[in-house]
């Protein structure tokens, strides 16, 4: 039987190497003396470079042997901060904190300055088996406040809230400020330096399920005193996911909480936190699941006006809060997603992602009139590709049993006839409590330029659609998410858009688990791809890193009491149900989903005569960073699907 030929545009399609080289991202933005600094990641080097951004130019501040990246919780974030004229950063290779004078360090567009680097970074910490993240500067005491994670020879990692002196007799030593909780994040110092707020939580919770907002007084030496837990209604707020505590310029503590289903801003009034005055934008969340440290979605102008990034239905928007009123911040451009907001003096900046171009750094002069659309400009990045882009189309599919609808973003090849059914690839994001957004991604363009249609699904459990939608996955991982991706595939087939004989599914990490379970329990799919996907959740629960070591208690159940449920949900135990080819990609250095999971799953399928293809990468961990490997994944996955289509 022959399937519909894959639609191919006339123009030369984007190569896998070019698609990977175009991958770019920014994070950790800060203003220094009116100039924007931040971390720039580009796949061509695989490094996180600390840069100064000046009108379209990114000036690297660090020698190439450095990469700014924390590995606390394995996912990192919050890997650098400004300490006056110094940048304090976590170096990926040793996970220690280093210092650099940002007024001297740097490399211009033509290469190294004459005579080499003007200023070499200096190592601050030498803490063996310890990693650092979420760096904050305490100017009054010339120290850093940070999260430390110590890995003993045996047993679970130990997380603490610590301070680190930048000079003096105790320079570089980590001194404990708070310990005893399983996890800490988001230290925030008040403007007068007398109060410290932070987030903490314990097993088996994750930071998007149930956390505690803590507030402490600091004595003259910076020691923690009078620690108390803050509530929305004293002592009765139940399970709330707090995020991003931050002090306003007037000293009032703010934080984000999802007490009313949506992650919204709250402010300390008396002894309790209360919602920010005024009716917030409907169905809008002001943070996202904190898989990484250092999230920044709100801040203040010098006049005390609060500026915040809100997300609704997968799209971001900038908002102003005036007294009791929320007003949209008119930018004059239409980004799909915003993050990494920073406000200083009369300017703000954030990372902007678009549907039709590469990510860029958006700069806004907040001193101009609110209705002046020319106050906004792209400081760096945001360039349009020189090929026709497949723009995302927001759609949703009916869920089984009238349970609502599942949102997804559809990418259809440019120029494809409207009445032609196309090969479809369902994308399942990781997490599973993550989300996808309608943004330009070179990897998606790689597929659409070769005639494939992509459906990027925000299945139940995804962030950005309220706490109830996020918690709909509780105890039902491997069921609800599978129902959702099947609903999307079936909807696209029923609409006459997808060729039912060429429907594929792929996912990474938790998305790999959804992919493999979908192949076990559905006949809709012609094949699938698992990128470092979970195949044995019980084994994952026993061996994975601390941050996610109890996550499966919520996603599936207690491994001992609910052992039968684990077997029913494990693709490894249900491998006999899979009848279609599967391709696997796995990093040998992965400490989240160990390589043995992929080997066992591939072996189980091969033993049943299922066509299997496996690719292991010796130097990769959880998520592939080396350009050659990323390009190899694209090319091998494409060849795999094309072979299935040709054999149908």
Q: Percent of the chain, pLDDT > 70?
A: 94
Tell me the β-bridge partners of 253. Answer: 247
Residue with tokens 């470092």: 532
Alpha carbon distance, N-terminus to C-terminus of the chain: 6
Each domain of the chain, given as residue ranges in start order, spans 188-282, 296-382, 392-647
354: left (phi over 0), alpha (psi -120 to 50) or beta: beta
Query: What does the pLDDT read at residue 373?
Result: 45
Spatial separation of the C-alpha atoms in residues 155 and 206, rounded to whole Å: 20
pLDDT the model gives residue 367: 73
Q: 3-state class of 623 per DSSP?
A: strand
Q: b vs e for 501-510, b when ≥16 Cβ sit within 10 Å of the residue's Cβ?
A: bbbbbbbbbb
E strands present in 412-565: 422-428, 453-457, 498-508, 527-531
What CA–CA distance (Å, rounded) separates 617 from 503? Answer: 27
Instruction: Give per-residue pLDDT as tens, 2-50.
Output: 444 444 554 568 899 999 988 889 999 999 999 999 999 877 777 899 9
Could you give the CA distance from residue 153 to residue 167 in angstroms, rounded to a whole number? 30
Average of pLDDT values for 404-417? 94
Q: Does residue 317 sit in helix, strand or coil?
A: strand
Q: Is the pLDDT of residue 114 over 80?
A: no
* Residue whose entry in the numeric block shows the structure tokens 């567009």: 109
Strand order in the sheet with 498-508: 392-398, 405-411, 453-457, 422-428, 498-508, 527-531, 582-587, 612-617
Q: Note the Cα 365 to chain centre separation in Å.
A: 27
> Topology of domain 392-647, per CATH?
Rossmann fold (3.40.50)
Q: Look at residue 371 and tell me whether its pLDDT is greater than 70.
A: no
The yes-or-no verdict on residue 365 having pLDDT over 90 is no
334, pLDDT greater than 90:
no
Is the pLDDT reported for residue 110 higher than 50? no
pLDDT for res 396: 96
pLDDT value of position 288: 96
Q: Which helix (H) or strand (E) holds 645?
A: helix 627-647
Residues 598-618 have a mean pLDDT of 97
Q: Which residues contact 145 (CB under 8 A, 6 or more apart)?
A: 135, 136, 137, 138, 161, 162, 163, 164, 177, 187, 189, 196
What integer pLDDT is reported at residue 112 of this predicted model? 43
The Cα diameter of the chain in Å comes to 79
**What pLDDT digit, counting tens, does each position of 534-555 carry?**
999 998 888 888 999 999 999 9
Mean predicted lDDT score pLDDT of the chain: 92
| CA distance linking residue 518 with residue 580, whole number of Å | 11
**Segment 512-532, tens digit of pLDDT:** 999 999 999 999 999 999 999
Per-residue pLDDT, 43: 76
pLDDT at 463 over 90: yes
**388 neighbors 409 (Cβ within 8 angstroms):** no
Record the pTM: 0.93
What number is the average pLDDT over the span 619-641?
Answer: 93
Percent of the chain predicted with pLDDT > 90: 81
Helices (H), 316-460: 442-448
Asked if the model's pLDDT at residue 1 lies above 80, the reply is no
| 58 phi and psi angles, rounded to 5 deg | -110, 115
**What pLDDT is stored for residue 23 in this prediction?**
87
Is the pLDDT score of 374 beyond 50?
no
In this predicted model, what pLDDT tens digit does every residue of 133-149 receive, in sequence order? 999 999 999 999 999 99
Calculate the dihedral angle through the C-alpha atoms of 121, 124, 127, 129, rounding to the nearest 10 degrees: -30
How many Å apart are CA 187 and CA 361, to the nearest integer? Answer: 26
User: Where are the alpha helices (H) located in 405-523, listed in sequence order?
Assistant: 442-448, 467-471, 480-494, 510-521
Burial of 55 (0-12, 13-18, 19+ CB in 10 A): exposed
Alpha-carbon distance of 592 to 543, in angstroms, equals: 8
- Closest by CA to 355, choosing from 380, 377, 388, is 388
**How many C-beta atoms surround the C-beta of residue 311 within 10 A?**
25
């Amino acid at each position: 039987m022959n399937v519909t030929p894959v639609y191919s545009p006339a123009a030369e399609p984007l190569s896998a190497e070019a698609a990977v080289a175009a991958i770019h991202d920014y994070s950790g933005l800060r203003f220094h003396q009116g100039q924007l600094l931040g971390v720039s990641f580009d796949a061509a080097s695989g490094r996180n470079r600390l840069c100064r951004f000046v009108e379209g130019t990114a000036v690297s501040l660090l020698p190439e042997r450095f990469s700014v990246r924390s590995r606390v919780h394995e996912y990192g974030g919050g890997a650098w901060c400004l300490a006056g004229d110094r940048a304090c950063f976590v170096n990926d290779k040793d996970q220690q904190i280093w210092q650099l004078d940002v007024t001297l360090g740097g490399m211009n567009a033509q290469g190294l300055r004459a005579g080499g680097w003007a200023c070499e970074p200096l190592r601050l910490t030498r803490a063996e088996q310890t990693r650092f993240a979420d760096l904050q500067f305490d100017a009054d005491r010339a120290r850093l406040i940070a999260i430390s994670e110590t890995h003993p020879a045996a047993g679970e990692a130990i997380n603490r809230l610590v301070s680190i002196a930048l000079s003096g007799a105790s320079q570089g030593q980590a001194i404990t400020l708070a310990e005893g909780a399983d996890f800490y994040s988001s230290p925030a110092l008040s403007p007068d330096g007398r109060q410290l707020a932070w987030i903490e939580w314990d097993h088996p919770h994750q930071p998007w399920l149930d956390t505690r907002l803590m507030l402490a007084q600091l004595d003259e030496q910076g020691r923690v005193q009078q620690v108390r837990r803050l509530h929305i209604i004293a002592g009765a707020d139940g399970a709330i996911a707090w995020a991003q505590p931050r002090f306003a310029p007037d000293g009032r503590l703010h934080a984000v909480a999802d007490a009313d289903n949506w992650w919204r801003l709250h402010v300390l009034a008396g002894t309790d936190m209360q919602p920010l005055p005024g009716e917030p934008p409907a169905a809008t969340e002001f943070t996202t699941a904190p898989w990484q440290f250092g999230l920044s979605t709100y801040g203040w102008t010098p006049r005390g006006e609060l500026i915040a990034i809100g997300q609704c239905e997968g799209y971001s928007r900038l908002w102003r809060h005036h007294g009791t009123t929320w007003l949209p911040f008119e930018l004059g451009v239409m980004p799909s997603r915003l993050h990494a907001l920073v406000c200083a003096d009369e300017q703000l900046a954030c990372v902007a992602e678009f549907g039709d171009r590469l990510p860029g750094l958006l700069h806004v002069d907040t001193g101009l009139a609110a209705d002046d659309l020319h106050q906004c400009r792209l400081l760096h990045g945001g360039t349009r590709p020189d090929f026709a882009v497949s723009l995302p189309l927001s759609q949703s599919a009916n869920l089984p049993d009238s349970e609502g609808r599942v949102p997804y973003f559809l990418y259809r090849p440019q120029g494809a006839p409207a009445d032609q059914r196309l090969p479809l690839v369902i994308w399942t994001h990781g997490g599973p409590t993550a989300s996808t957004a309608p943004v330009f991604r070179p990897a998606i363009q790689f597929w659409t330029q070769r005639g494939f249609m992509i459906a990027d699904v925000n299945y139940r459990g995804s962030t950005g659609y309220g706490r109830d939608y996020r918690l709909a996955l509780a105890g039902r991982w491997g069921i609800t998410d599978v129902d959702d991706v099947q609903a999307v595939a079936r909807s696209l087939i029923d609409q006459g858009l997808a060729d039912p004989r060429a429907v594929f599914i792929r996912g990474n990490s938790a998305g790999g688990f959804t992919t493999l379970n979908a192949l076990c329990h559905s006949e809709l799919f012609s094949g699938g791809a698992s990128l470092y996907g979970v195949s044995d959740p019980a084994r994952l629960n026993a061996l994975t890193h601390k941050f996610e070591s109890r996550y499966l208690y919520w996603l599936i159940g207690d491994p001992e009491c609910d052992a039968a449920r684990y077997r029913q949900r494990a693709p490894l135990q249900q491998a006999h149900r899979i009848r279609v080819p599967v391709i696997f990609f796995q990093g040998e250095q992965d400490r989240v989903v160990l390589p043995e999971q992929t080997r066992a799953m591939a072996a189980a399928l091969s033993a049943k005569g299922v066509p299997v293809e496996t690719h292991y990468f010796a130097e990769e961990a959880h998520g592939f960073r080396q350009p050659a490997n990323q390009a190899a994944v694209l090319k091998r996955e494409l060849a795999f699907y094309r072979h299935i289509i040709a054999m149908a």
